[in-house]
Amino acid sequence: MIEVNNLIKKFGDFRALDGVNMHVASGNIYGLVGPNGAGKSTLIRHLTGVYRQDAGEIFIDGAPVYENKQVKAQMAYIPDEPFYFLQADTLEMMRYFRGMYESFDEKMFYRLQEFFPGIDMKRNIRRLSKGMQKQVAFWLALCCRPKLLILDEPLDGLDPVMRKQIWTILMSEVAERRTTVLVSSHNLRELEDVCDHVGIMNHGKIIIERSLFDLHGNISKIQVACQTGMPKLPKEFEVLHMSNSGRVYTMIVKGNPREVAAAIQTEGDHLAIVDILPLTLEEIFIYEMGGLGYEVKDILF
Ligand SMILES: Nc1ncnc2c1ncn2[C@@H]1O[C@H](COP(=O)(O)OP(=O)(O)OP(=O)(O)O)[C@@H](O)[C@H]1O
- Tell me the per-residue pLDDT of 227-270, one tens digit each, with 9 for 90 and over: 878 888 888 888 888 889 988 889 888 888 888 888 888 876 67
By alpha-carbon position, which residue is closest to atom 25 of ligand 1?
36
Say if CB 194 and CB 42 are below 8 A apart: no
Instruction: Indicate if ligand 1 lies below 6 Å from the C-beta of 110.
Output: no
Q: Given the DSSP bridges, would you call strands 239-245 and 205-211 parallel, antiparallel or unpaired?
A: unpaired
CA–CA separation, 203 and 37 (whole Å): 8
Residue 12 Cα: closest atom of ligand 1:
4
Out of 187, 211, 235, pick the residue that ends a domain. 211
Domain shared by 165 and 277, yes or no: no
Instruction: Indicate if ligand 1 lies below 6 Å from the C-beta of 39.
Output: yes
- Domain of 126: which CATH number? 3.40.50.300
Domain shared by 199 and 223, yes or no: no
Out of 211, 242, 275, pick the residue that ends a domain. 211
Domain residues for the domain of 239 are: 218-300
Name which of 2, 5, 14, 40 is nearest 200 in CA terms. Answer: 40
Instruction: Indicate if ligand 1 lies below 6 Å from the C-beta of 41.
Output: yes
Domain shared by 198 and 255, yes or no: no
Domain shared by 234 and 106, yes or no: no
As a whole number, mean pLDDT of residues 197-216 equals: 88
ipTM, interface predicted TM-score of the complex: 0.97
pTM: predicted TM-score of the whole model, two decimal places? 0.83
Instruction: Indicate if ligand 1 lies below 6 Å from the C-beta of 38.
Output: yes
Task: Tell me: pLDDT of 298 over 60.
Answer: no
Mutate to test the pocket of ligand 1, among 8, 41, 77 (most ligand atoms within 8 A of CB): 41
Domain shared by 292 and 174, yes or no: no
Domain shared by 58 and 179, yes or no: yes
Rg (CA), the chain: 23
User: According to the model, what pLDDT value does residue 106 have?
Assistant: 94
Give 38 Cα–ligand 1 centroid separation in angstroms.
7
By alpha-carbon position, which residue is closest to atom 28 of ligand 1?
37
Task: Tell me: pLDDT of 156 over 80.
Answer: no
Domain shared by 207 and 238, yes or no: no
Domain shared by 196 and 270, yes or no: no
Domain shared by 192 and 228, yes or no: no
Burial class of 179 by CB neighbour count within 10 A (0 to 12, 13 to 18, 19+): buried
Instruction: Indicate if ligand 1 lies below 6 Å from the C-beta of 44.
Output: no
More confidently predicted of 213 and 300: 213
User: According to the model, what pLDDT value does residue 31 have?
Assistant: 94
Instruction: Indicate if ligand 1 lies below 6 Å from the C-beta of 81.
Output: no
Average pLDDT score over the chain = 87
Domain shared by 112 and 38, yes or no: yes
User: According to the model, what pLDDT value does residue 296 have?
Assistant: 56
Helix axes 160-177, 130-143, angle to 10 degrees: 10
Out of 211, 237, 264, pick the residue that ends a domain. 211
Say if CB 33 and CB 185 are below 8 A apart: yes
Domain shared by 254 and 195, yes or no: no
- Domain of 238: which CATH number? 3.30.70
Give 176 Cα–ligand 1 centroid separation in angstroms.
35
Task: Tell me: pLDDT of 150 over 80.
Answer: yes
Domain shared by 112 and 202, yes or no: yes
Number of compact structural domains in the chain:
2
Say if CB 249 and CB 230 are below 8 A apart: yes
pLDDT in tens, 90-105: 999 999 999 989 999 9
